[in-house]
Amino acid sequence: MEWILIFIIGCVVGYLISQNT
């Protein structure tokens, strides 16, 4: 189930980067 955490973290990081653009 570790891939789920990685997936969530990746989505959150990508979202934050998009907002900071």
Distance CA 21, CA 19 (A): 5
Report which residue type is found at 8.
Answer: I
Residue 21 is inside which H or E element, if any?
none
C-alpha distances out from residue 7 to 16, 17, Å = 14, 15
CA distances, 2 to each of 7, 8, 9, 12, 17 (Å): 9, 10, 11, 16, 23
pLDDT score, position 2: 93
Looking at residue 21, its pLDDT comes to: 79
Per-residue pLDDT tens over the stretch 1-21: 799 999 999 999 999 999 987
| 3-state SS assignment for residue 16 | helix
- pTM of the full structure: 0.48
- Secondary structure of residue 12 in the 3-state scheme: helix
